[in-house]
Amino acid sequence: MSVTVLSLALLLGARPGMAGSWGGLPYDGLPDGAYLQAGGTAYFWLGIPARTVYIGEAVPVEIEVGIRQGLPATLKGLPLLKGGDFTLNKLDKRADTRKTYIQGRFFDVLSWHTALAAVKPGEFSLSAGMPLSVKTGTSRTAARDIVIESAPLRVHVLALPVDGRPRAFSGAVGDFQISSDISAVSVKQGEPLTLRLHVRGTGNFARVAPTMFDHLEHWKTYPAKSVFTPRDAVGNRGEEVIEQSLIATEPGEQWIPGIDFSYFNPGKRRYEHTQTRPIRVSVVASLRARAPIRAASQVAVAAASAATVLPGLRPDHRRPVATHGELRPLYFHGPFLALCTALTLLLSAAWIGARPNPARTSSKATARALARLKLAAQAGDSLPFFELARKTLLQTFAARWQMSAEEITGAELRARLGLAGENIERLFAAEDETRYAGGASPGTDLQYWLSIIRGQLAVGSR
């Protein structure tokens, strides 16, 4: 018995104890769908998580072979898929081994984890076989080759949809994310750069073939190389790095366009498109390229090539002249709107804070009142003269002393104007007398009063 186990381990380079336990002898039983063959001495089981898959979709597969302990059998190779409808990833020769207990017998179990992919659409039967050699007698040649097979599985393979298939789709199926970087963003003309595209995710990386640049204006391109680093045992998850060497042929600010990558996401059942950001590279002219004649010829060549590729397209601009932090116009920027708001508030505060000069504001009205007083004096109309004089003086004093006209009393006039205040009191008294006399005021010198009024108003306007 131990000889058989030893022979299996030696043949396959098995790693004992990866699953289960040799000491505890757990009872695992047969996997679902497996059945004992060769007189109940072996079984072969093929397990996949989904029965409906898309072409190219990487489907994780578990393969398990169980051989009853004591059976003098050796493996004659690795498990093989039957038919050509599916492709199986390369199997590791080092299978995981464990021991299990089935129907009262111990079995040595070998298992592999890998992935398969369908190559054409339709309804298929998926099965695999495992060649064994079983000793039938005591002589060395007494052996019989048998093949144990898995139970067939019905798998429905869907074609990738035609509608919505992006132009950049190259067959990748899975769920991926991409990013790009470059070895340097500032180089001399003629120096090589390495543009790297990182494709990370889960799926069939064998079909990941993003288009790098066959031709790039102002750049010399070289064939791309890719390296895949798996993140799991199956190779279904990992990162593929595609590197391409580029050499700038033109000095100045050059742009490497973003790289498109489209894939079909079987989980979402749709195509997805993603793109890396364009990369700006500053290319410094080499000494040779700075020679005017050479530069002129390069310009001519570049213009000619551009014209050849796309007649009608105007040529590139030689030197970027302005830079902007954002594409949105300045008046949609927060800081600029804040500036305008601050200016508005500041000027509003200034407008509110700046008090108009009351004397100046009323200067025109005063001039008009004086003109009317002069006319009344010349006409000898005493009552209108005095009424207007009183009104004008009170308004002027009220504005000058920041108080209401009703608050201005005789005492206030004397206190503020002194002797002139007494004259104003007499003027107001003359108005009262004229009013009581029915408007007649013979012998009153209106020109005298007019000069007093002028004097008071002139004080205010100075």
Answer for the pair 173, 263: CB distance below 8 angstroms, yes or no.
yes
282 is an interface residue for other proteins by CB under 8 A: no
Cβ distance to other proteins smaller for residue 10 or 337: 337
310 is an interface residue for other proteins by CB under 8 A: yes
Strands 225-230 and 237-248, by their bridges, are antiparallel
Total chain residues near other proteins (CB under 8 A): 67
175 is an interface residue for other proteins by CB under 8 A: no
Distance separating alpha carbons of residues 313 and 1, to the nearest angstrom: 81
User: To the nearest whole angstrom, how small is the minimum distance from the Cβ of residue 260 to other proteins?
Assistant: 7
330 is an interface residue for other proteins by CB under 8 A: yes
User: To the nearest whole angstrom, how small is the minimum distance from the Cβ of residue 156 to other proteins?
Assistant: 20
336 is an interface residue for other proteins by CB under 8 A: yes
Minimal CA–CA distance to 248: which of 268, 220, 275, 229?
220
Residues 6+ apart with CB under 8 A from 401: 408, 412, 416
267 is an interface residue for other proteins by CB under 8 A: no
Minimal CA–CA distance to 236: which of 200, 199, 203?
203
User: To the nearest whole angstrom, how small is the minimum distance from the Cβ of residue 263 to other proteins?
Assistant: 12
Strands 96-102 and 15-16, by their bridges, are parallel
In degrees, rounded to 5, the angle at the alpha carbon of residue 193 between the alpha carbons of residues 187 and 198 is: 130
Name which position in 23, 84, 104, 312 contacts other proteins (CB under 8 A): 312
Cβ distance to other proteins smaller for residue 75 or 242: 242
272 is an interface residue for other proteins by CB under 8 A: yes
SS3 for 161? coil
Answer for the pair 211, 259: CB distance below 8 angstroms, yes or no.
yes
Looking at residues 130 to 159 of the shown chain, list those that interact with other proteins (rule: CB under 8 A). Answer: none
315 is an interface residue for other proteins by CB under 8 A: yes
Strands 270-275 and 260-265, by their bridges, are antiparallel
User: To the nearest whole angstrom, how small is the minimum distance from the Cβ of residue 240 to other proteins?
Assistant: 21
User: To the nearest whole angstrom, how small is the minimum distance from the Cβ of residue 306 to other proteins?
Assistant: 7
Per the structure block, which two tokens stand in for 300? 């001519």
Q: How long a stretch of residues is the chain? A: 462
User: To the nearest whole angstrom, how small is the minimum distance from the Cβ of residue 403 to other proteins?
Assistant: 23
76 is an interface residue for other proteins by CB under 8 A: no
x/- track of binding to other proteins for residues 211-250 (CB under 8 A): ----xxx---------------------------------
Looking at residues 351 to 380 of the shown chain, list those that interact with other proteins (rule: CB under 8 A). Answer: 351, 354-357, 360-361, 363-364
Minimal CA–CA distance to 386: which of 344, 429, 357, 353?
429
**What would the 3-class secondary structure string for 409-458 be?**
CHHHHHHHHCHHHHHHHHHHHHHHHHHHCCCCCCCCCHHHHHHHHHHHHH
Name which position in 94, 231, 333, 426 contacts other proteins (CB under 8 A): 333
Distance separating alpha carbons of residues 264 and 55, to the nearest angstrom: 10
Cα dihedral 36, 37, 41, 42 in deg (nearest 10): -80
Q: Where along the sequence are the contacts to other proteins (CB under 8 A)? A: 164, 166-167, 215-217, 253-255, 257-258, 260, 268-270, 272-275, 277-278, 280, 306, 309-310, 312-317, 319-333, 335-336, 338-340, 342-344, 346-348, 350-351, 354-357, 360-361, 363-364
